[in-house]
Amino acid sequence: MTALASDTAMILAAGLGKRMRPLTATQPKPMVRVAGKPLIDHVLDRLGSAGIAKAVVNVHYLPDQIETHLKARQNPSVSFSDERPLLLETGGGMVKAQELLPDPFFAVNADNLWLDGPYDAFRELSEMWDPKRMDALLLLVPHSGAFNYTGKGDFQMDPLGRIARRRSGRIAPFIYSGIQLVSKRLLRDAPEGPFSTNLLWSRAIEEGRLYGLCFSGQWFEVGEPGAIAPTEAALKRV
C-alpha cells in the first residue's frame, strides 16, 4: 500500500459562508450539520480514517464556535491558524499557516463531503504525487461523480494529468473537489494579504506544474441550504 505523501492536512474553514445563508447567520459554514454532524466533522473523520495525524484549521468568521467544537479532537489532532484580524482567502490562508505545515501537505475545504471509491482520496493523491514535476495535485471529479453540481466544470486534463482551465463558452469535464496535495513551492513569492489560490494555480499552469487526478468516488456539492436535503437522501441510499 502506498504511504501517504503527508501526515498533515490544512482545513480551510475561515470563509464567511455567504451562499449558505441564512444558516450561516449564527454559525460558520463548517458547523452546518449534514446527515447528523457538522461538515467539518465529515472532513476530519475522513482524515482520521485515512491515517492523517494532524490538521491545521484556519478560522476567521465566528471562530470561537469552531475552536470550542474541535478542542478535544485527537484523531487527527487539531491546531489553529488564527485569521481573526483579517480574512486572507484561500491562498493567503495557506501562506499564513505554512510554518505549521510540512512539505508537502494536503489542503481540504472545510465544507467538503465525499464518499471514497476503492481507495481513499488521500491515498490516491499520494500514489500519483511527484514533487519533481508537480507544485500541486488537485483531486478532480467528473460530472458523473458530482452530486448536486450544476456548473460548467473547472478544468481540462491532458493524458499526463496536466490541467488547464475551462475555456470560455465551453464545458470542462472536471470539477475541483476542494481537495489537493500541495508543495510549498506553490507558495513561493506569494503576495501579502488576502488572495485566492487561483493566482498560484495560474502560475503553476503556465509552468506545466499543476496536475489533476480523476477521483474514483462520489463528491457532493453542498454549497447552499437547498442542497442539504438531497445530499442526506443520497447518503441514505448508499
CB 31 within 8 A of CB 69: yes
DSSP letter string over 144-170?
GGEET--S--SEEE-TTSBEEEPPTTS
pLDDT band at 1; cut points 50, 70, 90: low
How far apart, in whole angstroms, are the C-alpha atoms of residue 129 and residue 136? 9
How far apart, in whole angstroms, are the C-alpha atoms of residue 102 and residue 107? 12
* Residues 201-218 pLDDT 10s: 999 999 999 999 999 999
* Residues 125-183 pLDDT 10s: 999 999 999 999 999 999 999 999 999 999 999 999 999 999 888 899 999 999 999 99
* Residues 20-61 pLDDT 10s: 999 999 999 999 999 999 999 999 999 999 999 999 999 999
Q: Which triple of cell numbers denotes residue 144?
A: 458523473
- Contacts (Cβ under 8 Å, ≥6 apart) of 39: 29, 30, 31, 32, 33, 110, 111, 112, 113, 222
pLDDT at 22: 93
Kindly state the average pLDDT of the residues 65-83. Answer: 95
* Residues 84-139 pLDDT 10s: 999 999 999 999 999 999 999 999 999 889 999 998 999 999 999 999 999 999 99
Kindly state the average pLDDT of the residues 172-201. Answer: 96
Set out the domains of the chain in order of their start, with CATH numbers: 8-237 (3.90.550.10)
Q: What is the pTM of this model?
A: 0.95
pLDDT at 68: 96
2 pLDDT more than 80: no
Type of residue found at 36: G
111 CB burial (10 A radius; 0-12, 13-18, 19+): buried
pLDDT at 237: 80
Higher pLDDT, 236 or 34: 34
15 pLDDT more than 80: yes
